[in-house]
Structure 1
Amino acid sequence: MNIDRLTVRYGSFTAVDGVSLEVPKGSVTGLVGESGSGKSTVARAVAGLTPYRGTVTGVAPGRVQMVFQDPYSSLNPRMSIGDAIAEGTRVPRAQRVAEVGRLLELVALPATYAGKYPRELSGGMRQRVAVARALAARPELLIADEITSALDVSVQGAVLNLLRELRGELGLTMLFISHNLAVVRYVCDAVAVMHQGRLVESGPVEEVVGAPRHEYTRTLLDAVPRLARA
């Protein structure tokens, strides 16, 4: 996927200013920055959820799926887990029960959870369901928008490990949004750093983390002491 000079304005306010970024097929590219940097706005624009100027190519319309930050509000509380996942599947109706079971097992949940409701699941389990629901549509691009930031620290690692496993198993192409460079380093191949709506630095994740060129990137690294010393 290629993003070229993507710009998002809300009235006189420019939230994203001319961002260009490549996400190679089969790779995980991180988009990192503090709150208000514009990273989630880029994600929403690529997903077709907000108007923008510029171009997004290399991914078919309707083949982008997004997993959102809050697992408690992203699932319909009146819809069973199975129905929520089946809603987005691309298989014939007669095969949906089996497909839902396959997707649940893919995210390390029992197929029997199809009959449960969101209120019966923990935050980490709900986020796994959200990933399964996104995968049901067989996306060409999966966008993960701060998907661990609302979870307890004890379950964040499990969700990140799941993404790494799915990437290896399915060859997913992913845009991974985060404010945490330590998380990005663990999950991503490359990283782009946003500040005040603009892209200030990008490159292979180990290069950006190991030898940051921009002062703002160094500031982000300083906020994660273990990374800064690595």
Structure 2
Amino acid sequence: MRVVIAEDSVLLREGLTRLLADRGLEVVGGVGDGEELLALIDSLAAAGALPDVVVADVRMPPTHTDEGVRACVELRKRHPKVGTLVLSQYVEERYASELLASSTRGVGYLLKDRVADVREFTEAVVRVAEGGTALDPEVVAQLLGRSRRHDVLDALTPREREVLGLMAEGRTNSAIAKQLVVSDGAVEKHVSNIFMKLGLTQSSDDHRRVLAVLTHLSS
């Protein structure tokens, strides 16, 4: 099984290379940024020697933001047969969603802490290489949480969404009424419906208006 590693930390890259080699996997290349990764895979493809899987860090040079995951998304477009396993310091929902958007075949997203469990990590690499999926439990939990938030907001009517959006701008009920050219009572009814549909019951410990806005923003 052929593996390419994309990680800007030379120490970690060498460590992953040794770890996988000790488990019988062949590491055929190691690079330090997203552009180098794409260039290497294209070169290997031209030589008829595509790797089975790429293991890449989410954040790589030059900006250390999303170069790694963007390279993997592009890689999946150019060479869909190559599995991509992304490693991240913590769960970044947007990047995980982007990676999984087209297909869940041959894709993985793990927190770097999982590398400490050598057997589990190696099994994840092999599974992705064979076309399977390897998602960190924390990633699954957060993506499901976001999905539930979307489902809740889908229950709102267009007018209720409009009211919630104005609430998120910090508008009072009176200001919202003026903006929408409706009565204060109509706005109060919409706000009450929003609280009900979002499952925000009256509580002395929580401010329902703030919680509603947070739900809106997190979606």
For normalisation by structure 2, the TM-score amounts to: 0.35
**Which of the pair has more CA radius of gyration?**
2
Which one scores higher on RCO, CA 8 angstroms, separation ≥ 6? Answer: 1
Name the structure where strand makes up a greater proportion of residues: 1
